[in-house]
Amino acid sequence: MNNFKLTSFLTSNVDLDEKMLNELIANFKIKHFRKGEYLLQQGEVCTNYFFIETGLARLFGINRVGKEHIIQFAPEGWFVSDRESTFFKQPSSYFIQAIEDTKAFLLDEQFILKLSESNPAFVEFNNKLLHNHIRNMTKRVYQLLSATAEERYLAFTKTYPDILLRVPQIMVASYLGITPESLSRVRKDLALKNFKK
Amino acid sequence: MNNFKLTSFLTSNVDLDEKMLNELIANFKIKHFRKGEYLLQQGEVCTNYFFIETGLARLFGINRVGKEHIIQFAPEGWFVSDRESTFFKQPSSYFIQAIEDTKAFLLDEQFILKLSESNPAFVEFNNKLLHNHIRNMTKRVYQLLSATAEERYLAFTKTYPDILLRVPQIMVASYLGITPESLSRVRKDLALKNFKK
DNA sequence: TAGATTTCTTATCATACATCAATACCAGGC
DNA sequence: GCCTGGTATTGATGTATGATAAGAAATCTA
């Protein structure tokens, strides 16, 4: 048995025998991206889901004045894609970029659909992924509506302590919806508060 | 043939014969909610999806200090639910409340799952709903990250002109992530700008 | 219709966060 | 090793939005 993260992800989430599993893995393309390279560019139609096997990627958009806004980080073991583009066959509004050297499996949407027809476990699997996605996005909306910059930063450090150490602060700020300068000050204030305790 | 919004929603989104369709509709419970009544309360597990046949509902949360934050509006023809709670069988963090007198179909999750097994068109249908949900939430996250209060308000007036006229401004403000006072100012500024043109 | 309640507006003041600018820091390429 | 460009910090200042309060308007309800 191979040692891919994707393998253990599938075995723990879909009911498959080993033969079927290996057949599957063999069917997926794996692709390497150097730090900075793009998995998806704005304007392209996103035809796959990416499973990050190793490395780290980000999903982000750029507004009229050239400012970047990060919607999602995707470290190893995570899926990333622009589902809107993939499902509705529309040019993507976003970019997906490798933040570190990254190895990713490309899961073709058509292929997944076919699997779903023959294997009900796959329907359930896909459902789980989609609901997980919705859960994360809903929490994110709620946070952005209700929490201050400091609260959002604290939540981030608790939820994604690993990512925090792997990306420049400028990107954490972008994810949180504040400027890097503000984030620097938030961190300073927190450090002070902790010192005083 | 009946005249339900749900009927036309289904016929235009799922490939079903009329017999099957009527059988379906007969299986769904319909429920009336007076303005102010709750379709779902925080702490409950959400066991159905609600299809709003007439009226208007909102999905919202309340934070520690008692402040409400609206995640989604659901007018007639829309689905609303806490999918996280439904799918993962967890107590909901949110409320769903009727803003107007509302008639809603209650779609039982188990029932939908069963339909999916026998009818592949239903898998596709469910997929479409989920992807639509993800699309909306992603746009919302991106907006909250990148746009000013004024920009968000303008986008709202364009995307949901009907809802704008049906809910108190206090709720629009809550949806946009600002205070009612700020919204009032934004509106005043916009009115001034338009007058000067 | 009148009274009560909520909603909306406006004003003042407070604050969180942005912007701009300067400096120090660090990392990758030559 | 030394540039070079990106990153982080800090300070001064500006601005958008929040908090509070009060009155006007609209809506509900009896």
Q: What is the pLDDT of residues B90-101, one digit of tens each?
A: 999 999 999 999
E-assigned strands of chain A?
Answer: 29-33, 38-40, 48-54, 56-62, 68-75, 79-80, 95-98, 102-108
Chain C bases near protein Cβ (<7 Å): 6-12, 16-21
pLDDT tens for B162-187 read: 999 999 999 999 999 999 999 999 99
pLDDT tens for A74-110 read: 999 999 999 999 999 999 999 999 999 999 999 988 8
**Which residue(s) pair with B49 in the sheet?**
B107
- DSSP assignment of B14-39, as one string? S---HHHHHHHHHHSEEEEE-TT-EE
pLDDT tens for B107-118 read: 988 888 888 888
Region B9-30: mean pLDDT is 85
Tell me the average pLDDT of chain B. 91
Is the pLDDT confidence value at B197 over 60? no
Angle at A150 between CA A149 and CA A151, to 5 degrees: 95
Q: Which two tokens stand for residue B45?
A: 């597990």
Is the pLDDT confidence value at A196 over 60? no
pLDDT tens for B140-167 read: 999 999 999 999 999 999 999 999 999 9
pLDDT tens for A30-72 read: 999 999 999 999 999 999 999 999 999 999 999 888 899 999 9
Residue B183: CB less than 7 A from any atom in strand C: yes
CB contact under 8 A, A71 and B138: yes
- Among A61, A127, A135, the residue with its CB nearest the CB of B142 is A61
Is the pLDDT confidence value at B195 over 80? no
Give A148 CA → C26 C1' in Å. 30
Which nucleotide is closest, CA of B65 to its C1'? D19
Is the pLDDT confidence value at B1 over 70? no
Which nucleotide is closest, CA of A187 to its C1'? D9
Element of type H or E holding A10 = helix A5-11
**Residues 152-181 of A with CB within 7 A of strand D:** 168-170, 180-181
Is the pLDDT confidence value at A124 over 70? yes
Residue B151: CB less than 7 A from any atom in strand C: no
**For residue B126, which residues of chain A lie inside 8 Å, CB to CB?**
127
Task: Choose among B75, B78, B185, B69: nearest CA to B133.
Answer: B78
CB contact under 8 A, A135 and B63: no
Say which residues have a Cβ less than 8 Å from residue A87's Cβ, sequence separation at least 6.
A109, B127, B128, B131
Residue A181: CB less than 7 A from any atom in strand C: yes
* Res B48: pLDDT: 92
Among A42, A49, A137, A154, the strongest candidate for a mutation testing the B interface, having the largest count of B CBs within 10 A, is: A137
* Res B116: pLDDT: 82
Residue B80: CB less than 7 A from any atom in strand D: no
How sure is the predictor about B77, in pLDDT bands with cuts at 50, 70 and 90? very high
